[in-house]
Amino acid sequence: MHLSTFIVQQVDNIVDEWEQFAKTLSPAADSMGRGALRDHAKSILLAAARDMESAQSAGEQAAKAKGDSPDNNLTLDTAAASHGELRHTAGFDLMQMTSEFRHLRACVIRRWVNSLVSPQLTHFQDMIRFNEAIDEALTESTAAYAEQVNRSRDIFLAILGHDLRAPLQAVSMSTEMLVRKARLNAEDLVYVTSIKRGARHMGSMISDLLEFVRSRLGSALPIDPAPMDLSSAAKAVINEAWAGQPDCLPQLRVEGDVHGVWDRGRIEQLLQNLIGNALQHGASHRPLTLTLEGSADSVSLTMHNFGTPIPQEALATLFDPLVRGTSEEIGQPGTDTSLGLGLFIAKEVVSAHQGTIKVSSSAEDGTRFTVVLPRISRADPRT
């Protein structure tokens, strides 16, 4: 008997064994009923049987071995993906969920082999096709499970970032009231200034975290473009950076008309991250230079600093979220964010304005971030 036929005939018995194994996966299975434990097992098995009975060329088999499943196997993929999502919801961990497929594979092969009177060469091909189908189902279930994990994490981060704003605002307002109403001596003012700087740093981190989560959940970065002077925003951000690090004043160079239609708050966020990155990684005895240059249809912004060059292998992932340099430590002074989100947010701001951002770095020429913004940016209709 071919394996596909055996699966169809014995599907209920096989699913019964699946259920018995699933019961052992505590603690998630302890409170689950029979239907939840059996879940999509029957659909997965019957879809696998149909796949095994379909014609398959050598090329298609080779493609499957590389993880390229055919488009006509949607029933198997859908059932497996649904199973992964529901197992995550039920509280199974990833090892428990994948162990179900290991047990299912062993159960089917053991029962089928025991039923064979005289094994034939074609039975080996049946086993290959069955293993392909189970591997495909396992891949789809794992991908769906991982997606649910990522989404749960992102929602948690969004709630965390939102809830942190209230106590942080209380710290900031209380500090401001101390400065206005209390008579503080010089030593006390130093402490208050340090608290204000720490609160501002935490606020920047929380904002970056929320922007990261927004992008992960599929929302484009919202902007509200209005006429503005880029040099005015640059001066404000430079002065703020200088207040935090009085021993280093970035230089500003302006060439041509640098007026345009952008979201000032977002542009300041871009500048804060680029200037903060230069202050953190630039050599303290070498100048930092921010150059603004206007052309007919666009304005370019270049942040340049000398210092240890960025390794060439790191350039490809420099704008990826939650990526920091190997020498960068959490809480290192001078960082605009210790979460590895600063340059990611900078790229998101540029993309929201339909601009481009590039980076080059060498020991001789230093590190240079170049942003080009169209003079008129329009908000993304998805926001």
For the chain, which domains are there? 3-153 (1.10.490.70), 226-374 (3.30.565.10)
Triad 304, 306, 310: Cα angle to 5°:
90
Mean pLDDT of 250-256: 94
CA distance 170 to 178: 12
Site of tokens 């599907």:
11
pLDDT confidence of residue 332: 42
Mean pLDDT of 25-35: 89
| Residue pair 325/302 in contact by the 8 Å Cβ criterion | no
The percent of residues in the chain predicted with pLDDT above 70, rounded, is 87
Mean pLDDT of 87-111: 90
Our CA dihedral for 142, 145, 149, 154, rounded to 10 degrees, sits at: 100
Q: Quick one: pLDDT band at residue 382, thresholds 50, 70, 90?
A: low
Q: Residue 263 above 90 pLDDT?
A: yes
Among 136, 160, 122, 159, residue whose Cα is nearest residue 81: 136
| Residue pair 273/336 in contact by the 8 Å Cβ criterion | yes
Three-state DSSP at 141 gives helix
| Residue pair 370/357 in contact by the 8 Å Cβ criterion | yes
Strand residues in the chain grouped as ranges (E): 226-229, 251-255, 259-262, 289-294, 298-305, 356-362, 366-374
Three-state DSSP at 66 gives coil
The better pLDDT of the pair 152, 133 is held by 133
| Structure tokens given for 252 | 């500003």
DSSP 8-state class, residue 310:
P
Q: Residue 15 above 60 pLDDT?
A: yes
DSSP 8-state class, residue 336:
S
Q: Is residue 27 reached through a cis peptide bond, with omega within 30 degrees of 0 on the bond before it?
A: yes
Taking only the tens place, the pLDDT of each residue in 107-134 is 999 999 889 888 777 888 888 888 888 8
Site of tokens 């993906």:
81
Q: Across the beta sheet with 289-294, what order do the strands follow?
A: 251-255, 289-294, 298-305, 366-374, 356-362
| Residue pair 284/306 in contact by the 8 Å Cβ criterion | no
Among 92, 54, 91, residue whose Cα is nearest residue 76: 54
